[in-house]
């Protein structure tokens, strides 16, 4: 080849494909204030809807008087359940097989519940209208504790009992009490009981994983516009799953699906908050049909924290058994899950407790049993996966705490206990006791790398010295070393066992190559900050040999994008990313035939090389993908249709199992309860790395959300069911001041079944981070007798722990 | 509904004049009345900073300023910081250093950072973290925001030096 010919390396570099830290294409509009979020949408004559909400957690709605409200200037309509009932829309199905009131139908079940929908010319008029609606309530006994709810005579939901007052079957089987939603089991109860009963060592722990909230900076909202002339409904909204929303809207409204267009514009963070369907969406659609005008609904922050999509609220009891040497023999987990007034968890249908059955973690535990009981209480519905795959945060927190508790019982180092119980590299694919088949992993390598990097032994020596100094009165600060090793289960999922409302959890990509060698690809997912427009173009660039800069990625418009189940549970890369690679390979297969025709050789005599097809053994004879693209549109090639397009729907054969090793070093002032994070090291293995810059950004963000949850963030209720943390004054979101710098690292263990070996990373840092921060706090007090204290470890609770351990003299 | 007030203000160098109820909030004025949608609403209680604008030379949260308080004011929003052909160094740095993800906090974050660097052209990491603590980001964990602001400061200082 001639010297002036571009080197192969340069050609690879120009593509900006897999593995490069490509700068984000999304950023130009966001840095210039030109994003297009749902509240930025303005349509002619658009109205604004807002809710009258219940001040009570449990009450009978005696009457609603809208007369005065309708006299308020600018108010056009006030909808109540009575208006929705003839349409069958006063209740709506939830993602969990339950149903939820759209507007209060005779009673309210949680504080902040939607009672009436005021439609007005602008937000101020709507607020005035809300003030003028008169609602008479009759208070009912409030149940905020799920254990009490399971014993109480108070029937929260009349639809759970038959005419004799006996509990009826629920969506997931028999109900043992009227406030009981389901019991879900995995594993072998009998053998587990036997193994634990006969074990040399058993450690137990009760832990409460508190209720919290994803709290994206942008709240939920929508704009519904019913075009009565053409019979078309357009619905813009903060939807993490726009296609599923279209199907749900069609099913509950009776509008044919082809007449509904759902658009997710730019989304200001989701973290699970924007997966479900909310009363605001239904009311906006109805209001648009009633008024003939577009109707916008946007939550304020209090609405958001109090009503849409709480996360966690799991009361977990664990028993773990081991030999005297620390080899784990069995694990038993019981969960009482507080689901609030309606079961609106966003889990695949067959998994009412999500993938909680990943709770054996990264360890080779031969026998295990899990039982989860869902319970109704007078709290908001939700139960979403806040920056995690379905209930995986709860599962990982549970096992990573159980390991610590067992280490204390065994008087053993917690890092060593993990090491001797890890699933070994040669055991993959590994069939876990609770049913999952882990696709790949190399835990020992990751763990050793992490411990070596942080000088684990040195840290333990320093900690021991600190304890001595503390006891000698030389310091008031203790040192905690938080460890966590997590295995996630993400990328839901195989259609054979994963569906939401009967929709299989595949995903999709459709590619069109333009004549001049640029392209557009559309996917069934939707970015909320993950940078899909950047990274999916990188996957394609490497597959089809056109530069990422020449590929537009589009998502979120159901009229143009292929059907997919959306973005949550780290499923975009594992599922839609796979569809993208496979659609790219279809493009390449056709391109190969075109290249062979142009080069006048047999199809088998050309091979793909970066950005071109070359004749085997004659690299100077080639056709670039750009040339091939043009030929696809301007040449009549015998036996080949014109054009260059492909579509792929990908049904993953298995989940993917990212893993990681985290270490947190913390100093804790026992007199103020203030923790200071001195160091945080995060090693992530997400398989093949698409864009290291974006991976690192995801890790920083996920760790910060983990810090929030572990160290202060909670949705708390008082005994009357009042939300105590309804604003950002009380609900902890860390600022730059509270957040440390993180050290990131990685190993690469590609997924064997994913076309490019990628596993997903957006949620790993949250899943692994929460137990790491929590373990650091708890570890600081280990030398003084602490076994377990519940999160969130805010300053007061840390101080209280110190106090109860007698550290204040 | 209250009596309307006559309001005048300069927004991003442009004179605006209108009648508004005194209870109207500045963020509403900007977003709904003037179609300036860069500043966002995140909390309506001054905690998150998504609505940060510069008002008479000070960073303020437009969600808790009445339009009546902004009568006669000079206001700069993200839209007034740079143009597509001549971006503000902070706008460039946030992209270069991955200082944003979902983008919702970004306009407020960058607008606040312009004031921070005006007041302190060479801030330490601690000063940046303290000076930006009124602006919440849920995506980035702040590490790359700090990095972006540091890089922009260096860039702006170098440009200033070159000009002198």
Q: State whether B138 and A216 contact (CB < 8 Å).
A: yes
User: Residue A111 contacts by C-beta under 8 Å, 6 or more apart in sequence?
Assistant: A53, A54, A55, A56, A57, A306, A378, A380, A721, A722, A723
Residues B63, B10 within the same domain: yes
Q: Name which of A336, A350, A340, A334 is nearest A383 in CA terms.
A: A340
End-to-end CA distance of chain B: 55
What's the pLDDT at A1? Answer: 44
Distance CA A131, CA A120 (A): 13
- pLDDT tens for B80-139 read 999 999 999 999 999 999 999 999 999 999 999 999 999 999 999 999 999 999 999 999
Coil, strand or helix: which one is A406? helix
Q: pLDDT tens, B13-70?
A: 999 999 999 999 999 999 999 999 999 999 999 999 999 999 999 999 999 999 999 9
Read off the pLDDT of each residue in A477-496 and give the average, rounded to a whole number: 96
pLDDT at residue B1, rounded to an integer: 56
Omega into A792 within 30° of 0, i.e. cis? yes
The answer to whether domain A8-35+507-650 and domain A388-492+655-804 are alike in fold is yes
Q: List, edge to edge, every strand of the sheet that includes A477-487.
A: A477-487, A659-669, A675-685, A743-746
Q: How far apart are CA B50 and CA B105, in angstroms?
A: 5
Residue A556 gets the label, from left (phi > 0), alpha (psi -120 to 50) or beta, of left
Among the candidates B46, B80, B114, a domain finishes at: B80
**How far is A774 from A771, CA to CA, in rounded Å?**
5
* A730 vs B contacts (CB less than 8 Å): none
pLDDT of A2:
46
Q: Are residues B110 and B73 in the same domain?
A: no
The verdict on A269 touching B (C-beta cutoff 8 Å) is yes
Q: Which of A552, A542, A541 is nearest to A519 (CA)?
A: A552
pLDDT of residue A5: 77
Q: Which of B55, B80, B105 is the last residue of a domain?
A: B80
Residue the block writes with tokens 């298995």: A654
H helices, E strands: number in chain B: 5, 5
Find the CB nearest B43 among A42, A266, A301. Answer: A301
How many CA atoms are closer than 13 Å to the CA of A523, on its beta-carbon side? 35
* Domain interval for residue B65: 5-80
Sorted by where each begins, the domain ranges of chain A are 8-35+507-650, 38-142+219-267+275-307, 388-492+655-804
Pick the residue of A25, A26, A31 with the most B CBs within 10 A to test the interface with B by mutation.
A31
Q: Which residues contact A360 (CB under 8 A, 6 or more apart)?
A: A331, A368, A399, A432, A433, A434
B54-92: per-residue pLDDT in tens?
999 999 999 999 999 999 999 999 999 999 999 999 999
CATH number at residue B66: 3.10.20.30
A27: nearest CA partner in chain B = B95
**Segment A696-733, tens digit of pLDDT:** 999 999 999 999 999 999 999 999 999 999 999 999 99
Q: Is the complex ipTM more than 0.95?
A: yes
Q: Decide if A795 touches B, using CB distance below 8 A.
A: no
Give the CA count within 13 Å in the CB-facing half-sphere of A189. 7
Task: Say whether B142 and A697 touch across the interface (CB within 8 A).
Answer: no
B96 and B41 belong to one structural domain: no
Identify whether the C-beta of residue A508 lies closer than 8 Å to the C-beta of residue A562.
yes
**CA distance to A319, A400, A450, A456, A616, per residue, from A415 (Å):** 20, 11, 11, 9, 53
A416: left (phi over 0), alpha (psi -120 to 50) or beta: alpha
Nearest CA to A579 out of A608, A612, A555 is that of: A555
B119 and B58 share one domain? no
> Per the CB < 8 Å rule, is A33 touching B38?
yes
Which of B30, B58, B80 represents a domain boundary (last residue)?
B80
Q: Which fold has domain A388-492+655-804?
A: Aldehyde Oxidoreductase; domain 4 (3.30.365)
Give the number of beta-carbon pairs within 8 Å between A and B: 173
CATH of A8-35+507-650, one of 1.10.110.30, 3.40.190.10, 3.30.1330.10, 3.30.365.10: 3.30.365.10
**Residue B160 forms contact with A (CB below 8 Å):** no
C-beta separation of A264 from A239 below 8 A: yes
Give the fold, CATH level 3, of A38-142+219-267+275-307: Aldehyde Oxidoreductase; domain 3 (3.90.1170)
User: pLDDT value at position A4?
Assistant: 59
Nearest-angstrom CA–CA distance, A676 and A693: 27
Q: Does A530 touch chain B (CB under 8 A)?
A: yes
Mutate to test the interface with A, among B11, B46, B111, B141 (most CBs of A within 10 A): B141
Question: Are residues B105 and B159 both part of a single domain?
Answer: yes
Number of domains present in the structure of chain B:
2
Q: What is the DSSP string of B46-90?
A: SSS-TTEEEETTEEEEGGG-BGGGGTT-EEE-GGGT-BTTB--HH
CATH, residue B135: 1.10.150.120
Q: B28 and B9 share a domain?
A: yes
B21 in reach of chain A (CB within 8 A): yes
Give the catalytic positions of A in this structure.
Answer: 240, 387-388, 763
Q: Are residues B63 and B124 in the same domain?
A: no
Mean pLDDT of chain B: 97
């Amino acid at each position: 080849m001639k010297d002036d010919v571009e080197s192969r390396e340069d050609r690879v570099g120009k593509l900006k494909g897999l593995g490069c830290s490509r700068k984000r294409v999304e950023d130009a509009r966001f840095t210039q204030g030109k994003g297009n979020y749902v509240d930025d949408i303005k349509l002619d004559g658009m109205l604004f809807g807002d809710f009258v909400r219940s001040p009570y957690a449990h009450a009978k709605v005696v009457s609603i008087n809208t007369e005065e409200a309708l006299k308020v200037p600018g108010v056009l309509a006030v909808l109540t359940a009575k208006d929705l009932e003839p349409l069958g829309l006063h209740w709506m199905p939830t993602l969990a097989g339950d149903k939820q009131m759209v507007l209060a139908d005779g009673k309210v079940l949680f504080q902040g519940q939607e009672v009436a929908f005021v439609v007005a010319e602008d937000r101020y008029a709507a607020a005035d209208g809300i003030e003028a609606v008169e609602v008479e309530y009759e208070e009912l006994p409030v149940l905020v504790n799920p254990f009490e709810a399971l014993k109480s005579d108070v029937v929260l939901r009349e639809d759970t009992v038959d005419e004799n007052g006996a509990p009826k079957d629920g969506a997931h089987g028999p109900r043992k009490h009227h406030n009981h939603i389901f019991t879900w089991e995995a594993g072998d109860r009998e053998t587990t009981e036997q193994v634990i009963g006969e074990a040399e060592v058993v450690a137990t722990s009760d832990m409460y994983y508190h209720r919290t909230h994803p709290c994206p900076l942008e709240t939920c909202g929508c704009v519904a516009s019913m075009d009565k002339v053409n019979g078309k409904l357009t619905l813009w909204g903060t939807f993490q799953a726009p296609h599923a929303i279209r199907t749900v809207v069609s099913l509950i409204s009776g509008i044919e699906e082809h007449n509904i267009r759902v658009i997710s514009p730019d989304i200001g963070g989701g973290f699970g908050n924007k997966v479900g369907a909310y009363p605001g969406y239904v009311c906006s659609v109805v209001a648009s049909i009633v008024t003939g005008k577009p109707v916008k609904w946007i939550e304020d922050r209090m609405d958001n924290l109090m009503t849409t999509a709480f996360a966690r609220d799991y009361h977990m009891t664990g028993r773990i058994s081991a030999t005297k040497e620390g080899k784990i023999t069995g694990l038993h987990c019981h969960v009482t899950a507080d689901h609030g007034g309606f079961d609106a968890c966003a889990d695949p249908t067959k998994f009412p407790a999500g993938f909680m059955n990943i709770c054996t973690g990264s360890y080779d535990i031969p026998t295990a049993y899990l039982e989860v009981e869902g319970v109704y209480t007078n709290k908001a519905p939700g139960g979403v996966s806040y920056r995690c795959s379905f209930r995986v945060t709860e599962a990982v927190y549970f096992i990573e705490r159980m390991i610590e508790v067992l280490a204390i019982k065994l008087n053993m180092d917690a890092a060593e206990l993990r090491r001797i119980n890890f699933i070994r590299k040669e055991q993959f694919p590994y069939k876990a006791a609770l049913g999952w088949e882990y696709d790949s992993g190399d835990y020992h390598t990751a763990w050793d790398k992490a411990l070596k990097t942080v000088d684990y032994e040195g840290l333990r020596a320093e900690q021991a010295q600190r304890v001595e100094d503390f006891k000698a009165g030389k310091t008031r600060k203790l040192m905690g070393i938080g460890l966590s090793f997590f295995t996630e289960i993400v990328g839901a999922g195989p259609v054979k066992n994963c569906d939401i409302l009967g929709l299989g959890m595949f995903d999709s990509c459709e590619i069109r190559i333009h004549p001049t060698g640029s392209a557009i690809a559309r996917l069934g997912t939707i970015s909320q900050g993950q940078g899909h427009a950047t990274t999916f173009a990188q996957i394609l660039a490497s597959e089809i040999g056109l530069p990422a800069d020449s590929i537009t990625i589009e998502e979120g418009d159901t009229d143009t994008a292929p059907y997919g189940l959306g973005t949550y549970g780290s499923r975009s890369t594992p599922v839609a990313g796979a569809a993208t690679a496979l659609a790219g390979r279809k493009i390449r297969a056709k391109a190969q035939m075109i290249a062979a025709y142009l080069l006048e050789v047999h199809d088998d005599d050309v091979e793909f090389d970066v950005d071109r097809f070359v004749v085997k053994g004659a690299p100077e004879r080639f056709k670039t993908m750009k040339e091939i693209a043009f030929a696809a549109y301007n040449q009549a090639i015998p036996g080949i249709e014109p054009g260059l397009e492909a579509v792929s729907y990908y049904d993953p054969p298995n989940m993917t199992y990212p893993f990681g090793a985290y270490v947190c070093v913390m100093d804790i002032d026992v007199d103020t309860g203030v923790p200071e994070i001195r160091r945080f090291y995060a090693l992530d293995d997400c398989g093949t790395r698409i864009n290291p810059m974006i991976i690192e950004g995801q890790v920083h963000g996920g760790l910060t959300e983990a810090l929030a949850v572990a160290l202060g963030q909670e949705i708390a209720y008082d005994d009357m069911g009042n939300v105590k943390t309804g604003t950002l004054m009380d609900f902890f979101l860390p600022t730059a001041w509270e957040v440390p710098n993180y050290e990131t690292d990685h190993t690469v263990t590609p997924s064997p079944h994913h076309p490019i070996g990628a596993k997903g990373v957006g949620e790993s840092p949250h899943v692994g981070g929460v137990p790491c921060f929590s373990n650091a706090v708890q570890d600081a007090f280990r030398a003084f007798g602490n076994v377990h204290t519940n999160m969130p470890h805010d300053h007061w609770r840390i101080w209280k722990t110190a106090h109860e351990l007698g550290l204040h003299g | 509904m209250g009596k309307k007030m006559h309001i005048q203000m300069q927004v991003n160098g442009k004179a605006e004049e209108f009648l508004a109820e005194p209870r109207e909030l500045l963020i509403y004025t900007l977003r709904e009345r003037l179609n300036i949608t860069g500043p966002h609403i995140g909390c309506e209680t001054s905690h998150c900073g998504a609505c940060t604008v510069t008002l008479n030379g000070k960073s303020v949260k437009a969600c808790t300023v009445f339009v009546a308080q902004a009568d006669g004011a000079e206001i700069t929003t993200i839209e007034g910081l740079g143009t597509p052909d001549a971006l503000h160094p902070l706008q460039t740095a946030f992209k270069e250093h991955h200082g944003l993800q979902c983008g919702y906090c970004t306009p407020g974050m960058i607008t606040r950072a312009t004031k921070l660097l005006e007041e302190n052209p060479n801030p330490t990491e601690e000063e940046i973290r303290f000076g930006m603590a009124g602006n919440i980001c849920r995506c980035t964990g702040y590490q790359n925001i700090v990095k972006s602001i540091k890089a922009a400061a260096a860039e702006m200082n170098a440009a200033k030096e070159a000009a002198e």
